[in-house]
């Protein structure tokens, strides 16, 4: 069964530039974007949110052109709806056809499938207005995969990074419901399920979460 997402959100997938990252890391950034494209090609989706916030040092908000040009889904190919959004209100305005508006029997907002990709892990992916934590606090379930999140300067992620996230309680999806194998690139092929979360690991207003851990992917 192919996974379906109502929204795919790309957080801070900026154009590689000496303005915000060392030149020797440009290749690593491009390899990360390749992992995103390859992984997303396994999923069904139509709507893509370009959530690039002001880039360090030059405040550019543009998502990397290579990523925008190559992103595709299994059911729609490159015929996608891509819009720049910075917060949940803008998302609801730009994608009314994708969002299940209203409340359910528990007076909570109706749920929809949100896949979040981007960088930097534990920082922007978690705390941006369209990051994991803000959606979870709106009673939504968020999805991600080790191929589509990263932290600059770190090795490519494996499933341990999500399982040991100090902030969010991630759960692996069942293999028969979400694609489990990475297309990857030549040296970054891994086996990992998609993960979902709808709960934080700590009391947000009253506690400070522990520092993050990183794990090197074995290839």
Q: State both tokens at 142.
A: 């968020």
Please give the CATH architecture assigned to the domain spanning 7-197.
Answer: 3-Layer(aba) Sandwich (3.40)
Distance separating the N- and C-terminal Cα atoms of the chain: 27
pLDDT in tens, 146-196: 999 999 888 889 889 999 999 999 999 876 555 443 333 334 444 577 899
Q: What angle do CA 56, 60, 97 make, to 5 degrees?
A: 120
Q: Is the dihedral of CA 42, 200, 216, 127 positive or negative?
A: positive
Q: What is the pLDDT of residue 201?
A: 87
The whole-model pTM stands at: 0.85
pLDDT for residue 204: 61
Contact 6, 99 (CB under 8 A): yes
Confidence of residue 212 (pLDDT cuts 50, 70, 90): very low
What are the residue boundaries of the structural domains of the chain, listed by start?
7-197
- Residue 55: pLDDT band (50, 70, 90) is confident
């Amino acid at each position: 069964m192919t996974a379906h997402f109502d929204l795919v959100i790309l957080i801070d997938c900026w154009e590689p530039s000496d303005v915000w990252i060392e030149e020797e890391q440009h290749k690593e950034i491009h390899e990360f974007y390749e992992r995103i494209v390859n992984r997303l090609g396994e999923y069904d989706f139509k709507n893509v949110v370009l959530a690039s916030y002001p880039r360090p040092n030059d405040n550019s908000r543009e998502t990397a052109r290579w990523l925008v040009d190559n992103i595709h889904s299994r059911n729609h190919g490159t015929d996608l709806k891509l819009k720049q959004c910075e917060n949940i209100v803008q998302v609801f305005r730009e994608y009314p056809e994708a969002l299940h508006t209203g409340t359910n029997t528990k007076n909570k907002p109706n749920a929809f499938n949100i896949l979040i990709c981007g960088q930097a892990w534990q920082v922007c992916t978690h705390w941006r207005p369209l990051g994991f934590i803000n959606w979870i606090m709106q009673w939504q379930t968020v999805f991600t995969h080790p191929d589509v999140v990263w932290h600059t300067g770190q090795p490519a992620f494996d499933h341990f990074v999500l399982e040991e996230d100090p902030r969010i309680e991630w759960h692996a999806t069942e293999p028969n419901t979400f694609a489990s194998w990475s297309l990857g690139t030549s040296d970054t092929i891994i086996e990992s399920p998609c993960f979902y979360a709808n709960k934080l690991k700590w009391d947000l207003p009253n506690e400070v979460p522990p520092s993050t851990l990183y794990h090197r992917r074995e290839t």
